[in-house]
Structure 1
């Protein structure tokens, strides 16, 4: 499949945050090699190890989903945002313009993140527990959250996934067990 790449959570390199509060494992960004100021979209997994502020990303729409751990409380000091990210696999969307602070609800947490440049890209994030047809999108990410999946002709074990860019791709996602779960992110022009 053209422009489709495999990844595994265990082999993604971890980059420490500037504030020392965690690490990020980038899955993919567009355009390839774009820095934090130049991406159109970006998907990553972060470990939040300490309470503290999130980085502000002006002009960016963000979605976050708890993968493992006790979770965090996300809030703004003016009260516009107040959310407990403490249930795994439930996406929460917010603006990167907001000065979000976070408080750990226990130990460190791992979360899945998608950021899209507002007005240019839009992400549609779905959590799937059953066989599904995933509509074609020019960009996207699939990650097996639990169990194994067959994604078209590709087998993906738990913690593995696929991402694609700049090539319209539709998927047939079929779980290979009863308790399997997959996150599917379609990234389309806004």
Structure 2
């Protein structure tokens, strides 16, 4: 498909979290190659194997989606939220500078993470369970197949595969193959284009 970069989670090398409490696989970041202090947006998948604090990211808006496992309880240090992330495909948003303690509900989990630098970029994360059409536009769009097979334009994605339209997306139909299916769509809107 023209302009789309395909990726597979299985091919991405795990790296330690910023605070060393888990591992992450970076799917994509902008600008490409930007470090943890310079990205405008970053999409990754993290494995949480033990209770502990989340890394702090001042000035970053975060959205997290459970991909596998029983889930995790997220408790803000300031008491502003106490959230059970236990429904696969349901995004939860919070400020990256907020201290958050993570407690596993029943064993290790895998989570999808979207981080955007406040004032520069914002993200919309949607869980798709049937057919949908990507509207043509200039924003970056990332698709990630969580469950089942997906036909996106002329490509077929298996669970763990995805597509990144870094410079805008053409109008593109997407449909699930037979059986249970879940696809995450992330639209990344630049607020201060350079």
TM-score, normalised on structure 1?
Answer: 0.94
What are the within-5 Å matches in structure 2 for residues 97-176 of structure 1?
A: 97-135=97-135, 136-176=137-177
Q: Give the Cα separation in 2 of the matches to 1:170 and 1:185.
A: 15
SS of 1:64 mapped into structure 2: strand
SS of the residue corresponding to residue 187 of structure 1 reads strand
- Following TM superposition, by how much is the alpha carbon of 1:50 offset from its aligned partner in structure 2, in angstroms? 1.1
Report the CA distance shift for 1:18/1:127 in structure 2 as closer, same or farther (over 3 A).
closer
TM-superposed deviation, 1:87: 1.3
Q: Is the 8 A contact 2:149 2:158 kept in 1?
A: yes
Cα distance, 1:104–1:179 mapped onto 2, change above 3 Å: same
| Equivalent residue, structure 2, for 1:38 | 38
Partners of 1:169 and 1:121 lie apart in 2 by 21
Match status 1:96 vs 2:96 = yes
- Structure 1 residue runs without a partner (length 5+): none
Aligned to 1:73: 73
- Asked whether the equivalents of residues 2 and 167 of structure 1 are also in contact (C-alpha less than 8 Å), the reply is no
Q: Which runs of 5+ in 2 are unaligned?
A: none
Q: State the alpha-carbon separation in 2 of the partners of residues 121 and 18 from structure 1.
A: 21
CA distance in 1, matches of 2:176, 2:77: 42
Per-residue CA shift, 1:13-49, capped at 9, x if unaligned?
A: 1002254321000000000000000000000000011
Residues 1:59 and 2:81 aligned together? no
Q: Distance in 2 between matches of 1:12 and 1:140?
A: 19
Is it true that 1:27 corresponds to 2:37 in the alignment?
no
Q: RMSD between aligned alpha carbons?
A: 1.4
Q: Hey, what's the Cα distance between the residues in 1 that align with 2:132 and 2:42?
A: 24
TM-score (norm 2): 0.92
Shift of 1:169: 3.9
CA distance in 2, matches of 1:71, 1:187: 26
Q: How many residues align?
A: 190
In 1, Cα distance between equivalents of 2:99 and 2:76: 6
Distance 1:79 1:142 in 2: 33
Query: What SS does structure 2 have at the residue aligned with 1:13?
Result: coil
Would you say the 8 A contact 2:78–2:99 is kept in 1? no
